[in-house]
Amino acid sequence: MIVAQALLETRMLLRHGEQLLLTVVIPTLLLVLFSTVEIVDTGAGEPVDFLAPGVLALAVLSTAFTGQAISTGFERRYGVLKRLGASPLPRWALMCAKSASVLIVEVLQIALLTAVALSLGWSPKGGVVGALAVAALLLAGTAAFSGLGLLMAGTLRAEATLAAANLVFVLLLVCGGVVVPLERFPEAAQTVLGALPVAALADGLREVLQHGAGVPWGALAVLVGWAVAGLGLAARFFRWE
């Protein structure tokens, strides 16, 4: 039942034009534009080496947080979640199916963005240890964003969720260290912005893929903290109708 529901959720997401714009088109356009046009000073080295990890973090944000919050919010408003909760599919299984759908879409996103980045001259580092560190960061980031997205979708009205999720996406795109280095912001703001999950994910991915570092424990700890808080609050306050 979980597999069937996960495949259904994935098909619905891939057929939704607005969701594809958010999860595929925008990250790809940002990667190509900022890698080929000198809009932002990304420091020494090729711009794509700085931008590719940040855009991967943005892809996780767009799917696990923004897309999931909006779709779940409207499913809750129209009574879809209530009816699914009364079906033979347990509620915990529904959440597992939604999480699996998010992971499937993220795999497709990461494969596409990696191919685009490599065509632009990206040279990722890290080796086998780096690949494991990247996988851990992406899973922790997915858990963190999913928890926050479900918390928003399960407590706010659908229209408020739509507005808030898109607003948060834009703000984190600009101020989360995705395409603009945090060093470009005032020093007082850097500490606050660096504690955001998207900044932790982007910086952790850069440590591995751009600088060839080992496991970025600091960034991973920040993401795990957000994941525990977000999923815990979502489990406590999520309303199915």
For residues 28 and 46, give the distance between their C-alpha atoms in angstroms, rounded to a whole number.
17
For residues 139 and 25, give the distance between their C-alpha atoms in angstroms, rounded to a whole number.
22
Residue 174: exposed, middle, or buried by beta-carbon count in 10 A (0-12, 13-18, 19+)? exposed
Angle among Cα 187, 192, 193 to the nearest 5 degrees reads 85
Instruction: Please say whether the beta carbons of 45 and 133 come within 8 A.
Output: no
**Torsion angle of alpha carbons 203, 122, 166, 175, nearest 10°?**
40
Q: How far is CA 89 from the centre of its chain?
A: 27
Q: How far is CA 201 from the centre of its chain?
A: 9
pLDDT of residue 44: 73
DSSP state of 14: H
- Give the number of other CB atoms < 10 A from CB of residue 119: 10
Instruction: Please say whether the beta carbons of 127 and 211 come within 8 A.
Output: no
Instruction: Please say whether the beta carbons of 198 and 57 come within 8 A.
Output: yes
Q: What is the pLDDT along the chain (241 residues), one digit of tens a residue?
A: 888 888 888 888 777 767 777 788 889 999 999 888 887 777 777 889 999 999 999 999 999 999 889 888 888 888 887 787 677 777 778 777 888 888 999 999 999 999 999 999 999 998 889 999 999 999 999 999 999 998 999 899 999 999 999 999 999 998 888 988 888 888 888 889 999 999 999 999 999 999 888 889 999 999 999 999 998 898 888 887 7
> Domain-by-domain residue ranges, the chain?
2-237
